[in-house]
Structure 1
Amino acid sequence: MTNFIIKKVAVLGAGVMGAQIAAHCVNAKVPVVLFDLPAKEGNKNGIVQRAIDNLKKLSPAPLGNKDDAALIEIANYEDNLELLAGCDLIIEAIAERMDWKHDLYKKVAPHIAPNAIFASNTSGLSITTLSDGFDAELKARFCGVHFFNPPRYMHLVEIIPTESTKPEIVDQLEGFLTTTLGKGVVRAKDTPNFIANRVGIFGMLAIIHEAEQFGLTVDVVDDLTGAKLGRAKSGTFRTADVVGLDTMGHVIKTMQDNLADDPFFAVYKTPDVLAKLVAAGALGQKAGAGFYKKVGKDIQRLDFATGDYVAGGGKAADIVARILKEKDPVKKMKALRESTNPQGQFLWAIFRDAFHYIAVHLGSIADNARDVDFAMRWGFGWNVGPFETWQASGWTQIANWVKEDIDAGKALCAAPLPAWVFEGQVAEKGVHTAEGSFSASKNAYVPRSTLAVYERQPFRAPVLGAGAADGKTAGVTFHEDDSVRIWHQNDDVLIISLKTKMHVIGEGVINGLKMAQAEAEKNFKGLVIWNTDAAEGGAFSAGADLQSALPLFMQGGAKAMEPGIALLQDTFMAMKYSNVPVIAAVAGLALGGGCEMALHASKRVASIESYIGLVEVGVGLIPAGGGLKEAAARASNEAKGSDILHFLKTGFTNAATANVSKSALEAKAMGYLKEDDVIVFNPYELLHVAKVEARAMFDAGYRPPMKKTITATGRYGWATIRAQLVNMRDGGFISAHDYKLGDMIAEIVTGGDIDQGSQLSEQWFLDMERKAFLELLNHPKSQERIMGMMQTGKPVRN
């Protein structure tokens, strides 16, 4: 194997996508230079500079840490083309016009380094036609690389090779996109709009068509086609507004211009309603109006019949919502097909249209059915792909129903389902099996990619029906109960996976952690805390399990809670001073006790999408699992004799304002992750990296840290912080109870009413945390906050 390392990337085009792709490269510590046209007036690099400034304002944030915007190198096509020679990957991301792209390619081609990969982030133009005019040598290094918006958060990247692209170029690019940028790669054929947009935009057009057939309003359609179907909660029309109706119109036009011989061609007509909105400049969210319009605090919807905006808020009919809650896909689809409610009939129709479409087009647009399912899951936010849905609902039964509808003239076109749908193994098993997924072009089942990069994913993204190993059942179980599973894969590292809802920490989890640690110290090189849904957007841990602690509190009051809190503190301290390394593999939410669990690990390996913070004040409490003790300890360490208070203020402010990091990079800046903690970009690689770290630390002769005293800032620090709190309370920025909580946190992190410079043990801080926590449990204002959070899930301000 030869190392292929992309040392530097160039992005051509500082528009919405180009700038965000550059931002994500910087997130991943990949040096990047962003090009655009020279500005006509003022600073020649003004266009790029404005784009970079804008990155800091966008939400969701393209940058994991806003300060990193400064790391993007700025360039223009007139003065800086020589910079391209130092780039190993060049991504063109300018407007979707073949002539403009060709003009730019002529300019840049002479400056591209001899081994660099050249790629276009087009969302639908032919990659082969784009490479017209290249010499054979550059053609071999050119392909499509299609990111989805917003590129930091959307898992999908489509790679589109041409006949001329060298296979090793594509393999190298897939490795870089997967590990370094954290993406899920699907290879697409060079057909208009590739896989995800081809199927996704067809789906949206079919939904608009069927909504008009069944007389449904945009708000009802969005309620039916959003979270209730396991798709993006913005549904269909809201998604179109977010994407931009002009952008959507453009993608539809690509289909009109290039797919004249497609049996579904009639469906690619721009819907009248869309054409009217675009002509009126109502381009969706960016224009303030599209299918929806915000009027004051209300969201109004477009009435197709009159073209006016009217009150929205329409929802699915109860009977249809009940069908959609059915867990058994076979029963669910049968109920929709037989429903007499227009909403039920509409849902069956859009499923039928999608199944009809993907069956007819599988052979021409994708290598196999798995790629279509991943494209829709990762690119459009569907929980389950369209082929998976079909197979789960009963392959042959659905196929026959779709055929009946086609024969009866109810489908969107008369093209029959291809013969393979009813033949051989597909008829028996469906398109996904243990040996692979069906390829219509090869008439065979195709196994998953065996590129080396996938050896880093112990549990790859699952496909329904493929029966792959998953973290819930794989490996050897040492102990399993309702709260945890402790297990290993015969590789010297013990794993504990939490099974509670949102992985909250109650008595069962604490006992599990103690048991796992004892076993790891006896027989393993390390312990990893990793949850099986880490890659699917699950939480690391949402904190203490308040719900199950309630009965105990009701019976015995705050005093009855004390042993449990002491046990939690002791368990976390034992982790910190464990004789083998304990690695917290963090992804998603790590809040309150979940944050404290991570803080006490020997090291943290965190997914870029980690949202870490001490949020206890939201429920009227303070951190009591050692979070404030860690803030004091870390400030004492970092200050190394200079003004500790300066360092302490960060820890205090984060806890007192329940500040949560918006990325792992920000968590480093906030002090929740340490400088040498590892950030992982692909959540499917989290377990692999955590295990590698555990073994490396053990093999390097790991010893737990020595117990050190903490230098306290005492009365001086407490009074300084309190003065700021008084100003905030008196200025009306915080309530009296917020002040009380802030004052308690200040007392604990400073060590309280003692001399500045006192040397205190960790236990001193833990005892203060526990005492304050118990006092607050008895406080009526805190009880109001706890009950409010449990009833509504939202913090109460009192």
Structure 2
Amino acid sequence: MANTVHIRQVAVLGAGVMGAQIAAHLANAGIKTVLFDLPAKEGDANGIATKAIANLKKMKPSPLASLMRADHIEPANYGSDLEKLKGCDLIIEAIAERLDWKLDLYAKIAPFVAPHAILASNTSGLSINSLAGGVPEQLRSRFCGIHFFNPPRYMYLVELIADSQTNPAMMDALESFLVTRMGKGVVRAKDTPNFVANRIGVFSMLATIYHAERLGIRFDVVDDLTGPRLGRPKSATFRTADVVGLDTFAHVVKTMTEQLASDPWHKYFTVPAWMQKLIENGALGQKTKAGVFKKVGRDVLMLDPSTGEYIAGGQKGSDEVKALLKITDPAARFKALRESTHPEAQFLWACMRDVWHYISYHLDTIADNARDVDFAIRWGFGWNQGPFEQWQAAGWKEITAAIAADLAAGQVMGDVALPAWVAARDAVHTPEGSYSAADNALKQRSNLPVYKRQLYPPTVVGDAAPLYGETIFENDGVRLWAQAGEDVVVLSFKTKAHCIGPDVLAGVNQAITIAEERYAGLVVWHPEAPFSVGADLMSMGPAFMTGDFASIENMVAEFQKASMRLKYAAVPVVGAAQGYAFGGGCEFLMHCSRVVACLETYIGLVEVGVGLLPAGGGCKEFALRASIEAKGDIVAALKDYYLSVAMAKVGTSAEEGQQIGYLRSSDIIVFNPNELLYVAKAQVRAMSESGYKAPVKPKAFAVAGRAGAATIKGQLINMLEGGFISKHDYLIAGHIAEIMTGGDVDAGTLVDEEWILKLERERFMKLLKTGKTQERIMYMLENNKPLRN
């Protein structure tokens, strides 16, 4: 079996929350998907699956790239539809975590599985070999574990687990499919209970719960200290348990209790009595609106485990310990935590120490190497760095000595010595590879061909630093670079959140000049998200405060020139986007020859949030497109574009961005962000090699004029009177209407792009001089959220 697999149709068995969301993400990828469940007892036999598909459209955050994707999932049932399995290339079982139920289902479907099809279980912790033992013999070599993390659309990690008889070539092919088509980071896990991420991540949560109780640290303080301050998600520890579901968390812990009896930490594999009581009372967390935390009105209450009652929450960690967490040098930070006598500092040190002890003891049995552990925790639990990375960054030898000292003093959770390999090494991650305890060797990354598409793959602490080519040009805002011998040059912004200020604008112009002179084309790409949050409002600050509006207007004009240069460059310019592409970032993409966008690109013209309007060519582009698309009625063609701008509509996926019009149907959507640059360069070369010609500037196009603006404003009055928008919103929306309809001219008047750009500048400056807009700008700069005034 080759390292590629042609998966055209997939069946998902089980229409519960997880199965339905796996089906949704397969549909996102354009793969025909059949979602199975039990026959409904009444009415349509497919009723259970049909209801699950309908529920996908209601979920937030949405598992669907756009709502229409739900229509690409076919409902089915085990009673009358098993014949449909014969057309499937991959079958993913996602039913409840009961070994007997799963084995019964495998026996039932076996006669209908195609000879080439892969059968995989989405179990989160059951033994793959135990499952495989009940799989019909003809399916055994094509059976494996494929563990998606919840929610499947957004979580990068998938764990692949082989059975002792699984065909290795099939696993390689399946990994390649998951990486490119599904956009996932794959970790090969060994067949141990809960595999890699849940085994370590849940142990970390159990250690946190244990030490919090031992040292008397409140739940809200724990979450304040173990979230972003520790390089972890905002949901931290107890909020994460609420989000996952206390019953789900307890189930994973139960698997550890039942299947890891010989684990030296086994006595800690239990949920505390207060959590068990919550579960018994149906307080399961976010899904039941009460768990460790409960929101009442605007107040977030917290369970007091000593009384079982909810009390006021929101308490933060002590200033003393928060100051220690701000120490930038990891070695100094953990040394300070270790030496502090403050209970919160001792709590944090103990939590990390026991995780480090645990992962070193179990590395040989749960993962191929330390890199896989770190990626599993980063991708599955959202840590900025994996636990081995944190250990190495804090000083391998120093941390090892500190753990050994605590072991000797009887202060650790696990009463076992550190493995001998720990003291023998100076690090687990090196440029030559990451350490495998099972093989006592350094392991390089996978050499599957699919990873050649990742020009700059994810790295771990200790890897060789990525070499982003030779610098061709650089200023304070951008770096233009190229790999030796390549014909495509790359422009990367250096600013915070890749915002666009004078240096970026100058850099864009210079980059295009260089690309036109020496290269086949240009890619605008950054190693990290976001693509751009838009114009740098801070850079306008001095001129804004002194009333130097002329310099701001000049900057707006420069912004427009940069957008137009992107559009009319003599060589193809491809924008490679992921994360936020807001305001000016969106406008830049709208002017590129083509965009390659990661599925998780959130794109929109959001300027009204700061009391302004798009003035980098966004209004102009929509006015031009409406004129081209109009079939005698420009206002009708313009309406949806106008509403998107006036209501600051954001596409919450690249596909939604296409539907709104920020991205064109010819733009490319990729699922794996690590493949963006590879695909973008390929697009530049394809356009160049096919004889790229810059677009011809339209000499004139028709606009809707003052009559069109009046029609649009009539709808705005209804929104104003209904209280849906404020008076200032009405003012901004009116300006946008007048720009996009061409200003004070008759309907059908022919204008050029510069005419609309001039209107953008003029109306932008008018708004900038109003008190309400100035209030919005200052509020955004101070609070990082919009003000509706």
**TM-score in terms of structure 1 length:** 0.97
Structure 1 runs (4+) deviating above 4 angstroms are none
Distance 1:638 1:3, change over 3 A: farther
CA distance in 1, matches of 2:242, 2:554: 53
Matched, 1:488 2:467: no
Matched, 1:678 2:668: yes
CA distance in 1, matches of 2:135, 2:54: 35
User: Secondary structure in 2 aligned to 1:377?
Assistant: helix
Matched, 1:524 2:515: no
CA contact (8 A) 1:87 1:116 kept: yes
The offset of 1:194, in angstroms, is 0.1
For residues 72-98 of structure 1, give each alpha carbon's deviation from its aligned partner in whole angstroms, at most 9, with x where no partner exists. 111101111111111111100000000
User: Secondary structure in 2 aligned to 1:186?
Assistant: strand
For residues 679-700 of structure 1, give each alpha carbon's deviation from its aligned partner in whole angstroms, at most 9, with x where no partner exists. 0100000011000000100001
User: Secondary structure in 1 aligned to 2:650?
Assistant: coil
Aligned to 1:183: 184
Aligned to 1:699: 689
User: Secondary structure in 1 aligned to 2:651?
Assistant: coil
Aligned counterparts, 1:93-108, within 5 A: 93-108=94-109
CA distance in 1, matches of 2:583, 2:181: 30
CA distance in 2, matches of 1:511, 1:686: 25
CA distance in 2, matches of 1:303, 1:135: 51
Matched, 1:433 2:424: no
The offset of 1:656, in angstroms, is 0.5
Aligned to 1:507: 502
CA distance in 2, matches of 1:263, 1:61: 41
For residues 331-366 of structure 1, give each alpha carbon's deviation from its aligned partner in whole angstroms, at most 9, with x where no partner exists. 011001101100000001001110010011000000
More displaced stretch, 121-130 vs 542-551: 542-551
Aligned to 2:268: 267
The offset of 1:731, in angstroms, is 2.1
The offset of 1:68, in angstroms, is 1.6
The offset of 1:3, in angstroms, is 4.8
CA contact (8 A) 2:39 2:45 kept: yes
Structure 2 portions without partners, runs of 5+: none
User: Secondary structure in 2 aligned to 1:140?
Assistant: helix
CA distance in 2, matches of 1:779, 1:274: 54
User: Secondary structure in 2 aligned to 1:256?
Assistant: helix
RMSD: 1.1
Aligned to 1:458: 455
CA distance in 2, matches of 1:397, 1:568: 51
Aligned counterparts, 1:90-169, within 5 A: 90-169=91-170
CA distance in 1, matches of 2:404, 2:456: 37
The offset of 1:105, in angstroms, is 0.6
CA distance in 2, matches of 1:202, 1:596: 46
CA contact (8 A) 2:5 2:174 kept: no
Count of residue pairs the alignment pairs up: 786
CA distance in 2, matches of 1:468, 1:554: 42
Aligned AA (1:633): L
Aligned to 1:541: 532
CA contact (8 A) 2:361 2:418 kept: yes
CA contact (8 A) 1:316 1:343 kept: yes
More displaced stretch, 723-732 vs 130-139: 130-139
The offset of 1:2, in angstroms, is 6.9
Matched, 1:581 2:572: yes
CA distance in 1, matches of 2:462, 2:154: 27
CA contact (8 A) 1:85 1:113 kept: yes
CA contact (8 A) 2:3 2:172 kept: no
The offset of 1:642, in angstroms, is 3.9
CA contact (8 A) 2:3 2:173 kept: no
For residues 614-665 of structure 1, give each alpha carbon's deviation from its aligned partner in whole angstroms, at most 9, with x where no partner exists. 11111111111110000111112222x2422222111111111111111101
**TM-score in terms of structure 2 length:** 0.98
CA contact (8 A) 1:11 1:92 kept: yes
CA distance in 1, matches of 2:530, 2:199: 32
Aligned counterparts, 1:207-218, within 5 A: 207-218=208-219
CA distance in 1, matches of 2:537, 2:94: 49
Equivalent residue in structure 2 for 1:753, among 744, 767, 776 = 744
Equivalent residue in structure 2 for 1:497, among 492, 514, 522 = 492
Matched, 1:554 2:545: yes
For residues 265-292 of structure 1, give each alpha carbon's deviation from its aligned partner in whole angstroms, at most 9, with x where no partner exists. 1111232222221122211111222111
Aligned AA (1:42): G
CA contact (8 A) 1:553 1:560 kept: no
CA contact (8 A) 2:3 2:176 kept: no
The offset of 1:553, in angstroms, is 3.1
The offset of 1:561, in angstroms, is 1.8
Equivalent residue in structure 2 for 1:690, among 662, 674, 680 = 680
CA distance in 1, matches of 2:289, 2:444: 47
Aligned AA (1:225): T
Aligned AA (1:716): A
Aligned sequence identity (%): 56
The offset of 1:773, in angstroms, is 0.8
Aligned AA (2:32): P
CA distance in 2, matches of 1:134, 1:315: 52
More displaced stretch, 305-314 vs 141-150: 305-314
Aligned AA (2:740): V
Aligned to 2:607: 616
Distance 1:305 1:479, change over 3 A: same
CA distance in 2, matches of 1:488, 1:636: 39
Matched, 1:442 2:432: no
Aligned counterparts, 1:191-590, within 5 A: 191-423=192-424, 426=425, 428=426, 430-469=427-466, 473-489=467-483, 490-533=485-528, 538-590=529-581
The offset of 1:746, in angstroms, is 0.4
CA distance in 1, matches of 2:538, 2:201: 41
Aligned AA (2:626): A
CA distance in 2, matches of 1:352, 1:571: 52
Structure 1 portions without partners, runs of 5+: none
For residues 395-446 of structure 1, give each alpha carbon's deviation from its aligned partner in whole angstroms, at most 9, with x where no partner exists. 11111111111121111121111110011xx2x3x10011100000001011
CA contact (8 A) 1:559 1:774 kept: no
Aligned AA (1:560): S
